[in-house]
Chain A
Amino acid sequence: AQKITQTQPGMFVQEKEAVTLDCTYDTSDPSYGLFWYKQPSSGEMIFLIYQGSYDQQNATEGRYSLNFQKARKSANLVISASQLGDSAMYFCAMRETYGKLTFGQGTILTVHP
């Protein structure tokens, strides 16, 4: 079974608009971490935002926020005021035990001027 599911292969957004990228996860571990990474065409994975399973508040980092709904096992990334430079592949990932990340399939975001 998929541990991390990103159901949107591609998303389009107009510059300056907000966009939500979906991520659902599956784990029986009470302690876990959720991460979002951005991968531009250059290939490097850039860390964006982290949410811990015990965090009471949704994480925010500048224009990025994480809509964490624990009961629904979802951790959607919200990008506000989209910029052309936001066009990239976005990955949701989870860590259950100390060590490896498990990644979703990714969502390609295209920002139109």
Chain B
Amino acid sequence: GAGVSQSPSNKVTEKGKDVELRCDPISGHTALYWYRQSLGQGLEFLIYFQGNSAPDKSGLPSDRFSAERTGGSVSTLTIQRTQQEDSAVYLCASSLAVRGRESDIQYFGAGTRLSVL
């Protein structure tokens, strides 16, 4: 389809393991965002990529979290040494990042549900 694609849809891991979550944005979208949705914290911004600019990492909760975006397209969010509090739904979004920035619509994927046992 033409939407934002995330994989896997579900991931169960053991505490202390590393996990990688993948996001394929909508073709032609230059901006890519990661958010986390958990019961206790609601929807939180994690990181934002815009073209070739340095990413905005201001939302990453700890240095165990990192993300990269290769070739201005696919992005991978990596969580090292997972903890139980990392259990959440990780949502990816992309946007065209057009001029008139406030109206730039972010389109979301279905998310990856991460469960850390």
A residues within 8 Å of B by Cβ?
31-33, 35, 37, 42-47, 50, 52-53, 91, 93, 95, 98-106
- Beta-carbon contact of A47 and B33 below 8 Å: no
* Residues of B in contact with A, size category: 20 to 34
CA distance A102 to B33 in the complex (A): 12
In the complex, B56 has a CB within 8 A of chain A: yes
CA distance A93 to B91 in the complex (A): 15
With both chains docked as a complex, state the minimum distance between the C-beta of B92 and any C-beta of chain A, in angstroms: 10
| B108 nearest in chain A by CB position | A45
B residues within 8 Å of A by Cβ?
31, 33, 35, 42-43, 45, 48, 50, 56, 59, 89, 91, 93, 97, 101-111, 113
3 A-B pairs closest in CB distance = A33-B102, A45-B108, A103-B43
| A54 nearest in chain B by CB position | B102
Q: A33-B103, A44-B110 are in contact. Are A100 and B45 (CB under 8 A)?
A: yes
Q: Which of B45, B102, B107, B108 has the most CB of A within 10 A?
A: B102
* Interface of B: prevailing SS: strand
Q: Could you pull out 17 A-B pairs where Cβ atoms are within 8 angstroms?
A: A31-B102, A33-B103, A35-B105, A37-B108, A42-B110, A44-B109, A45-B93, A47-B105, A50-B103, A93-B43, A95-B102, A98-B50, A99-B33, A100-B56, A101-B45, A102-B45, A105-B42
